[in-house]
Amino acid sequence: MSQLIEISDPADPRLADYRDLRDVELRKHLEAEHGLFLAEGEKVVRRAVEGGHAARSFLMAPRWLEGLGDVLDRSDAPCYVVSEALAEQVTGFHVHRGALASLERRPLPSVDSVLTGARSVLVLEDIVDHTNVGAIFRSGAALGFDAVLLAPRCADPLYRRAIKVAMGAVFSLPYARLEDWYDALPQLSAAGFTTVALTLADDARPIDEAVAGLDRVALVLGSEGHGLSARWQQAADRRAIIPMQAGIDSLNVAAATAVACYVTARR
């Protein structure tokens, strides 16, 4: 059962996990070094804990204690009870969804293990925006995908903003980090997946035709800025496009992913 500890000094060292949450670079460093991540909001905190992540601590104003009562009852981590003003002072932003939790990262599963039994997977090359990563996880989970593979430079799904946008889908949709960028797609093909790259390339076929009748599919998505690398475009088994109106450059990567997942799930 979580022990409630009132804290009124913003410099209290027990609040270290929650400091300066808006400073992306600082947080990346701190979270990697200490193997932690932050969850925000009652629903997301609950899903993180139910997803098997051990809490290091909780932080919230008194009015959020009741809603998370059952989660706190089952946890041994301390719950720091603070005023909303102090929460804002420590984190650097107005915590309008109330509760925060600092949780322990777990070792990521291997690529092989997340692919076992999977029929539809997403492969993200260099998606660097946490909002996009979160949105892609949310759509993938909702539309029936089984796993996500991340290229070495893809943004961290356990970054606070990604978790929030994903509405916790980062805890339910298994994912792994690819170690070998160069040969990642041929290795997926060898594992029995047809790799389908979403691209604006001239030889791309409409997505519904590209996935029709396929068994195991790996849908491959590139970065929001420059799209897929030349290597991955060439290495993919098929290239697919979402047909668009003349004169429009492209869809946002999260919107394109939602459409592609919907179509692929119904292949």
| Coil, helix or strand at residue 222 | coil
Question: Which helix H or strand E contains 245, and what residues bound it?
Answer: none
Task: Candidates 21-29, 132-140, 186-194, 226-234: pick the segment binding a second copy (CB under 8 A).
Answer: 132-140
Rounded CA-CA distance 263/131 in Å is 22
Task: Candidates 26-34, 90-98, 105-113, 164-172: pick the segment binding a second copy (CB under 8 A).
Answer: 164-172
Closer by beta carbon to a second copy, 192 or else 206: 206
State in angstroms the smallest separation of the CB of 262 from a second copy.
5
Buried b / exposed e over 8-19, threshold 16 CB at 10 Å, is eeeeeeebebbb
* Under rule CB under 8 A, residue 142 binds a second copy: yes
* Under rule CB under 8 A, residue 92 binds a second copy: no
- Half-sphere exposure (Cβ direction) of 69: Cα atoms closer than 13 Å: 3
State in angstroms the smallest separation of the CB of 210 from a second copy.
14
Footprint on residues 198-257 left by a second copy (CB under 8 A): 242, 244-245, 247-252, 254-257
Task: Candidates 118-126, 135-143, 147-155, 177-185: pick the segment binding a second copy (CB under 8 A).
Answer: 135-143
- Half-sphere exposure (Cβ direction) of 205: Cα atoms closer than 13 Å: 9
Q: Which of 182, 256, 187, 189 is nearest to 216 (CA)?
A: 189
Let me know the angle formed at the C-alpha of 28 by 146 and 124, rounded to the nearest 5 degrees.
30
Footprint on residues 165-184 left by a second copy (CB under 8 A): 165, 167, 169, 172
Closer by beta carbon to a second copy, 124 or else 263: 263
* Under rule CB under 8 A, residue 133 binds a second copy: no
Rounded CA-CA distance 223/239 in Å is 16
Closer by beta carbon to a second copy, 2 or else 223: 223
* Under rule CB under 8 A, residue 191 binds a second copy: no
Rounded CA-CA distance 130/165 in Å is 8
The site for a second copy (CB under 8 A) is made up of 135, 138-139, 141-144, 165, 167, 169, 172, 242, 244-245, 247-252, 254-259, 262-263
